[in-house]
A and B are shown apart, each in its own frame.
Chain A
């Protein structure tokens, strides 16, 4: 039975794992996996990859633009999240306390009708800037949520991080907003 049924590719197995398959599809994959070692190994590999991504994030080693719902789920699950809200073109004094697990910069911006946004980050202590191209955002929320690598930020000396958001339309770029995060090391 098991060897006669077709194998599933990684995309189908991941959809199954994430609950995207309907009841009949789930049953079919369940039954197949109970009889198929290669597909089981592929699924194990995907699950291990997911665990590794989660682990890297938990260690503060992942920089990402995320959703407000994601941050709320972190808070709800008991993670120690420190959030800084910046008004449009605003600035804030910020730091990472020893117990903090996640830092979030919430940048308010006029996002209505904006299709693509780049974020350009510059640290005053580094002679270079990083351009995050085509970042994901929810236009209706009116804010962009940036999660830096807290494990790295925690070790940095006092500095200013400047974030400029650019909207792209019809081959042109316009400044959406500029923000300053005045970072200081946590006292003590």
Chain B
């Protein structure tokens, strides 16, 4: 499953580690530039972590803010033992906070179940960066099994095992079909030649 790329880049000082060291060394003096640069570098990655583990954009935003505030605060106070390994520190914070947020979410869900009908919902949909008409044409160009597998995989974010059980395929089949379909879709939606009508 985990397939490293053949040409991994070898060790060199990670920029986030260098920035973290600068923040830790500045202490109370504050290296504002380094703090801003570290935030710009790590915050989107923490948000991505949040999306994967919380499956909710607003919760991922919360996680990003909490983790980054914590990391910057701990670096300034000299409480990160190895600032050059700030990514590991952030990883640990992400895990801890996601667990805490899940516990809180569980309580929130329970409250919603009891009182949810009285709430007004807001539209929190996010813009999709792809041209939907082009995506639809690209989907048309897939084989039937590829389109079905892609739809079932992506619509509910289902693993291969689950999709396979629903479509009378094996999980291995689903992975192969999915891989082929995604490669074709990536070429098609990102400006490759449009499929013939």
Chain A interface (Cβ < 8 Å from any Cβ of B):
1-12, 14-21, 25, 28-31, 33-35, 37, 40, 43-57, 59, 61-70, 73, 132-140, 149
Contacts and interface: CB of A to CB of B under 8 A. Distances in A.
Contacts of A51: 126, 128, 130
A57 B10 contact: no
16 contacts: A3-B10, A7-B5, A8-B2, A11-B3, A15-B1, A20-B1, A20-B159, A30-B52, A35-B16, A44-B48, A47-B51, A49-B189, A52-B135, A56-B135, A62-B151, A134-B145
A136 B168 contact: yes
Given A18-B159, A30-B49, A31-B88, A3 B4 contact: no
Interface string B1-29: 11111001111101011000000000000
Give the size range of B's interface with the partner.
Answer: 35 or more
Contact of A54 (B11, B48, B155): B155
B168 A33 contact: no
A40 B128 contact: no
Contacts of A12: 1-3
A121 B48 CA distance: 42
A106 to B, nearest CB: 15
A30 B128 contact: no
Q: Is the interface of A mostly helix, strand, loop or mixed?
A: helix
A98 B17 CA distance: 56
B158 to A, nearest CB: 7
Of A14, A18, A53, most B-chain CB atoms within 10 Å? A53
Given A3-B9, A7-B8, A55-B135, A34 B128 contact: no
A70 B166 contact: yes
Contact of A11 (B8, B46, B155, B175): B175
B156 A7 contact: no
B193 interface: no
B154 A30 contact: no
Contact of A62 (B139, B143, B160, B167): B139
